[in-house]
A and B are shown apart, each in its own frame.
Chain A
Amino acid sequence: MKKSFAAFWRRNLALCNLGIASNLEYRFNFIVDAFVQPILTVGIEVLLWLAIFKTAETAFIGGFSRESYLAYAVWAPFLGRITISWMYESMMVEEVASGSINTILSRPLSFYEYYLSQMMGYKVVTTVFSLLVPVAASIFFKLPIFFDRLLPAMSLVIYYLLLVHTLSFIISTLGFFLTRVRSFTLVKNLTLWLLSGELVPIDLMPAALQKFFLLLPFSSGVYIPLAYISGRGDFNLLVQGFINVTVALAIAGTFSIYFWRRGLHEYTGTGA
């Protein structure tokens, strides 16, 4: 038992390294992904909100100050980028559709952990680099951010990433039945974009909708951690986020096991 646990970690750490090494192999792409893209996104958002407040000639919109909006505009895309998994999801979908999943199926390795570990490795490295952008912007604009709350908030984001990966896994297993499922990825990403609060802060929504969105696990990806670090939400909200994700993981996990098992019965070993 002890040996297999050690082997599990050794294997997953190696996969984590694979995720990092594969991305570092393409240096310019990595730099654009980790630096240029976050700088551009933050720059656009900041300019937009500065322009809105200037033309509105008011200190508050919807009860929130300019700094509150800027804090949201700077941190929401950063958290949103962490919690999106379109790149790895596309790879998973393609593995099933093209049959290159055969390589994984014929090895003592699970498809779920293979991609989870690689994604985590990649996310950790890009997050460490791209974190500099919102931190610098927060200091420069003197935004209301509690940096001492960053670690628990990021823990929730990483935990939420497990749920996102499980959803990606479910979508890719649908490929066993439907072959082409790329459109599902797009629909899922747009839905999560709205439900996580990345597109519009949840506290700007009507009260009933706000309550509903906070009951869903998706607000744990962007809105709850951001509310926590910016002082809009307290520790209880963060705990609620962890509980929501745990419940969702249990449900999504059950579905993923079901679809995986059924899918393997349907699988024809495409392309081999």
Chain B
Amino acid sequence: MSFTIETNNLGRTYKTYQKKEGLLNSFRAFYSREYVEKVALKGATLQLEAGKIVGLVGANGAGKTTLLKILSGLIYPSSGTATVLGFEPWKRQNEYLKQISILLGQKNQLWWDITPRDSYSLLAKIYDLDLNKARARVNELAHLLKCTQVLDTQLRRLSLGERMKMEIIGSLLHSPKVLFLDEPTIGLDIVAQSAIRDFLQVYVDEHKPAIILTSHYMDDIAQLADQLLLMSQGQIVYNGTVDEFMAASDLKKKLIYRFKNSMQEKEMIFNSQELSVVLSQIIAEGEIVDIKVEEVNFEEVIRRFLAKESGSL
């Protein structure tokens, strides 16, 4: 079986210099600097198929964006190998770049001073597309995203949600076979987040690209990802489906309770077989006036898993 994305022991190290506190040390660092190496990605080995959305999850600094940057050809790896669509990404061959797209949720990739429609026309020429087909595709995507009314307004005059929709159209204009989405819903309200999620789901079902999605919103991952990659301290610590991950977790239930004379609710996550033990513990602590048991959600399990992996739990 051939994979769209394949990596083997991929690693990346950054060199940074450390400056001690104070003005005197600024002068010292002017002529002598202490450099340290920071491992951002270590031994990442994975295989990804076309037509799937892979959710890449991890705390800040876990190595997600570094992996994305290597696979999209923005940076070189320090070690290991990787191929995407049969190309080594960092060689940045035009044939490769024409088949991928990267959307960085915190960066504008369209042009600030011109309208999205002008930007798409320019993109069509950069990607050497048929102009009429590109226009038809813009209309189709804008219709799906319900944003045709803003196509002729300068990007700088659009709201964040509208801008993100425009960016998505721009990233899909050339029908990429691989799409890297880094925080596509960051900063958006829940309506816009939901619209973008729904759109991506429909788009993947119809066009079957391979998508790697990073997001701090676990709803994005839970709703969209066919495959889940969890990263911690530069390493892939879990590779499987969301359902498998939830099934494998021993944390199933959440107990929410409140003691007498306290306005603050407390929470406890536990294995469903331990309910009576947990209840006895709480009752021993004080008089309970309110209590309820809920199914633990995906975000909670992920949060605890990553905290455990990074040693902070």
User: Judging by beta carbons under 8 Å apart, are B97 and A107 in contact?
Assistant: yes
Residue with the highest number of chain B CB atoms closer than 10 Å, among A99, A100, A107: A107
| Residue B114 lies at the interface, judged by CB distance under 8 Å to chain A | yes
Partner of B114, one of A11, A25, A272: A25
A272 to B90, CA, bound (A): 16
Question: Which A residues are CB-close (under 8 A) to B100?
Answer: 106
CB distance from A179 to the nearest CB of B (A): 11
User: Judging by beta carbons under 8 Å apart, are A106 and B76 in contact?
Assistant: no
Question: Using a Cβ–Cβ cut-off of 8 Å, how many residues does chain A contribute to the interface with B?
Answer: 28
User: Which residue of chain A has the shortest Cβ distance to B74 in the bound complex?
Assistant: A269
User: Judging by beta carbons under 8 Å apart, are B154 and A11 in contact?
Assistant: no
User: Which residue of chain B has the shortest Cβ distance to A17 in the bound complex?
Assistant: B122
User: Judging by beta carbons under 8 Å apart, are A107 and B126 in contact?
Assistant: yes
Q: Which of B20-28, B65-73, B158-166, B269-277 contacts A (4 or more CB under 8 A)?
A: B65-73
User: Which residue of chain B has the shortest Cβ distance to A102 in the bound complex?
Assistant: B74
Question: Which A residues are CB-close (under 8 A) to B83?
Answer: none
Q: Which of A49-57, A237-245, A260-268 contacts B (4 or more CB under 8 A)?
A: A260-268
| Residue B109 lies at the interface, judged by CB distance under 8 Å to chain A | yes
CB distance from B19 to the nearest CB of A (A): 14
| Residue A15 lies at the interface, judged by CB distance under 8 Å to chain B | yes
| Residue B35 lies at the interface, judged by CB distance under 8 Å to chain A | no
User: Judging by beta carbons under 8 Å apart, are A268 and B107 in contact?
Assistant: no
Q: Known contacts A22-B114, A271-B107: does B102 contact A106 (CB below 8 Å)? A: yes
Partner of B94, one of A100, A108, A272: A108
User: Judging by beta carbons under 8 Å apart, are A18 and B111 in contact?
Assistant: yes
Residue-wise, chain B 108-140 has the 8 Å CB interface mask toward A (1 for contact) of 010101100010011001111000000000000
A17 to B127, CA, bound (A): 16
A10 to B131, CA, bound (A): 11
| Residue B5 lies at the interface, judged by CB distance under 8 Å to chain A | no
Which residues of A61-114 have CB atoms within 8 Å of chain B's CB atoms? Answer: 99-100, 102-103, 105-109
Question: Using a Cβ–Cβ cut-off of 8 Å, how many residues does chain B contribute to the interface with A?
Answer: 34
A103 to B180, CA, bound (A): 13
A197 to B120, CA, bound (A): 43
User: Judging by beta carbons under 8 Å apart, are B14 and A268 in contact?
Assistant: yes
A268 to B65, CA, bound (A): 11
| Residue B282 lies at the interface, judged by CB distance under 8 Å to chain A | no
Partner of A265, one of B76, B92, B98: B76
Question: Which A residues are CB-close (under 8 A) to B85?
Answer: none
User: Judging by beta carbons under 8 Å apart, are B125 and A10 in contact?
Assistant: yes
Question: Which A residues are CB-close (under 8 A) to B65?
Answer: 269, 272
User: Which residue of chain A has the shortest Cβ distance to B123 in the bound complex?
Assistant: A107
User: Judging by beta carbons under 8 Å apart, are A105 and B92 in contact?
Assistant: yes
User: Judging by beta carbons under 8 Å apart, are B182 and A272 in contact?
Assistant: yes
Question: Which A residues are CB-close (under 8 A) to B98?
Answer: 108
| Residue A14 lies at the interface, judged by CB distance under 8 Å to chain B | yes
Question: Which A residues are CB-close (under 8 A) to B182?
Answer: 272
Question: Which A residues are CB-close (under 8 A) to B76?
Answer: 264-265, 267
Question: Which A residues are CB-close (under 8 A) to B195?
Answer: none
| Residue A190 lies at the interface, judged by CB distance under 8 Å to chain B | no
Question: Which A residues are CB-close (under 8 A) to B68?
Answer: 272
**Subset of 30 A-B contacts with CB under 8 Å:** A7-B128, A10-B125, A11-B125, A11-B126, A11-B128, A14-B121, A14-B122, A14-B125, A15-B122, A18-B114, A21-B118, A22-B111, A26-B113, A102-B107, A106-B97, A106-B102, A107-B97, A107-B127, A108-B98, A108-B128, A109-B126, A264-B90, A265-B76, A267-B74, A267-B75, A267-B76, A268-B14, A269-B65, A269-B66, A271-B106
